Amino acid sequence: MRARPTVQELPAYKPGRNPADLAREIGVERAVKLASNEVAFPPLPAVVQALATAAGETNRYPDNGAVVLTRALAERYGVDPVQVATGCGAVTLCQELAQAYNDPGTSIAFAWRSFEMYPLLARVAAARAIQVPLVPGRPGGPADTHDLDGLLAAIDDSTRLVFVCNPNNPTGTAVRRPELERFLDAVPEQTLVVLDEAYREFVTDPDVPDGIELMRGRPNVTVLRTFSKAWGLAGLRVGYLVAEDPAVAEAVRKTHVPFSVSMLAQAAAVAALASEDEVRARCAAVVAERDRLTAALRERDVAVEDSQANFLWLPLGEQTLPVAVALEARAVITRPFAGEGIRVTVGTPEEDDVFLAALDDVRSLTSPNA
Ligand SMILES: *Cc1c(COP(=O)(O)O)cnc(C)c1O
């Protein structure tokens, strides 16, 4: 049975390397996975407790409106519940947005390279992908930063959605308040700006704006957040959208895959929100380790830019794939983008030391000066 041509053309799903399989294959006790931007901490104690309680009720369907979670999110962010929609991970919300806003032949604009989901979204929605190349964040540096003027110029009458991933995955760079405000003020009102803030909790630069504050008074702006990264619930699949215009949240709720945010996910997210102090402390530890890892890489002459997320971008160009393969042979799984760079998640200090030692080993073999 043939699928739609656009679907036939999509790349087949390629599962990420599993650390246990890799460890067995190369005969070591443990492999380190720094490939998916999860946090290394175990689930919060309150989350484990909530899951245990909710487990006893899983013969029932979840609340399709996620009322308790929606209310908790609205309270946390100072918005009305009608401005909030939850999803089975933020990726599902991306899909629901495209379903709600993109007729075939319309377009979705975004920077490239950015989150890998965006081009797929456009294809599945039979929409055109408008990809605007990243530019150097500093003179002479690698192309790693949003070109908001370029993005604005690329938006046309057909553009229903424009994604701005801030901080950007995979480069870790972030756009600042004045440039983002200028951009939001100039985007046509029929184009919805989606500020993808999956890594917001790791932002430390006060000049990087909070999208939920920035969207106020701007009905064509919405913000995506997730419990997968800072909140430590990647395995449970829950994300959320906050929109200035309740019609945006409503459109997403209308295209929602019924019951796709599980009972366990809802209970865990509510418990995580109630443990925000612990989450903040964990984020602070990740940020401290991010600084240490950044400095350690710079000492090794790797040109990493400052990251506002929980990962670093190593712009290794043509060296990317050989280095990533060699790291994997040394039990360290990273996320390479061939010909461009390697994205490395900030792990525990121990994991990052394993990564640094493996990198030293790899570079001693490949560096012409060694
Ligand atoms: C991880 C990530 C998401 C969301 O992930 P979910 O697990 O689906 O919530 C969204 N956007 C970006 C840029 C991400 O890196």
142-173: pLDDT as tens digits? 999 999 999 999 999 999 999 999 999 999 99
Q: Which of 114, 169, 173, 344 has most ligand 1 atoms within 8 Å of its beta carbon, as the pocket-test mutant? A: 169
Give per-residue pLDDT as tens, 64-94. 999 999 999 999 999 999 999 999 999 999 9
Interstrand relation of 107-112 and 128-133 (parallel, antiparallel or unpaired): parallel
Share of the chain above pLDDT 70, in %: 99
Domain boundary among 228, 256, 273: 273
Which contiguous run of DSSP H or E holds residue 314? strand 311-314
* Angle CA 345–346–352, to nearest 5: 110
Phi, psi of 62 (to 5 degrees): -75, 165
Give per-residue pLDDT as tens, 191-211. 999 999 999 999 999 999 999
Domain boundary among 248, 273, 298: 273
In terms of residue numbers, what domain contains 269?
45-273
Banded pLDDT at 368 (limits 50, 70, 90): low
Rounded to the nearest angstrom, the distance between the alpha carbon of 26 and the centre of ligand 1 is 30
Indicate if 59 and 177 belong to the same structural domain. Answer: yes
Nearest CA to ligand 1 atom 11: 198
Banded pLDDT at 6 (limits 50, 70, 90): confident
Indicate if 100 and 206 belong to the same structural domain. Answer: yes
Indicate if 257 and 150 belong to the same structural domain. Answer: yes
Rounded to the nearest angstrom, the distance between the alpha carbon of 300 and the centre of ligand 1 is 30
Q: Is 350 helix (H, G, I), strand (E, B) or coil?
A: helix
Nearest CA to ligand 1 atom 4: 90
Indicate if 200 and 247 belong to the same structural domain. Answer: yes
Domain boundary among 238, 273, 308: 273
Indicate if 34 and 9 belong to the same structural domain. Answer: yes
Residue 38: which of 306, 236, 324, 203 has the closest Cα? 236
pLDDT at 370: 42
Indicate if 184 and 325 belong to the same structural domain. Answer: no
Residue 320: pLDDT over 70: yes
Instruction: For the chain, report the end-to-end CA distance as a whole number of angstroms.
Output: 55
Indicate if 283 and 263 belong to the same structural domain. Answer: no
Residue 298: pLDDT over 70: yes
Query: What is the spatial distance between Cα 287 and Cα 127, in angstroms, rounded to a whole number?
Result: 38
Give per-residue pLDDT as tens, 101-147. 999 999 999 999 999 999 999 999 999 999 999 999 999 999 999 99
Query: What is the spatial distance between Cα 328 and Cα 351, in angstroms, rounded to a whole number?
Result: 14
Query: What is the spatial distance between Cα 356 and Cα 341, in angstroms, rounded to a whole number?
Result: 16
Query: What is the spatial distance between Cα 359 and Cα 314, in angstroms, rounded to a whole number?
Result: 11
Rounded to the nearest angstrom, the distance between the alpha carbon of 326 and the centre of ligand 1 is 27
Rounded to the nearest angstrom, the distance between the alpha carbon of 301 and the centre of ligand 1 is 30
pLDDT at 367: 62
Question: What CATH number does residue 34 fall under?
Answer: 3.90.1150.10
Residue 15: pLDDT over 90: no
Give per-residue pLDDT as tens, 200-240. 999 999 999 999 999 999 999 999 999 999 999 999 999 99
Indicate if 21 and 86 belong to the same structural domain. Answer: no
Indicate if 252 and 327 belong to the same structural domain. Answer: no
Query: What is the spatial distance between Cα 308 and Cα 305, in angstroms, rounded to a whole number?
Result: 10
Atom from ligand 1 closest to the CA of residue 169 = 13
Atom from ligand 1 closest to the CA of residue 234 = 7
Query: What is the spatial distance between Cα 295 and Cα 344, in angstroms, rounded to a whole number?
Result: 14
Nearest CA to ligand 1 atom 1: 198
Residue 87 is classified by DSSP as E
Rounded to the nearest angstrom, the distance between the alpha carbon of 90 and the centre of ligand 1 is 5
Ligand 1 neighbours, Cβ below 6 Å, are 89-91, 115, 165, 169, 196, 198, 226, 228-229, 234, 239
Rounded to the nearest angstrom, the distance between the alpha carbon of 102 and the centre of ligand 1 is 20
Indicate if 283 and 218 belong to the same structural domain. Answer: no
Question: What CATH number does residue 213 fall under?
Answer: 3.40.640.10
Banded pLDDT at 363 (limits 50, 70, 90): confident
Counted domains in the chain: 2
Indicate if 250 and 286 belong to the same structural domain. Answer: no
Nearest CA to ligand 1 atom 8: 89
Indicate if 213 and 316 belong to the same structural domain. Answer: no
Q: Which of 196, 236, 237, 261 has most ligand 1 atoms within 8 Å of its beta carbon, as the pocket-test mutant? A: 196
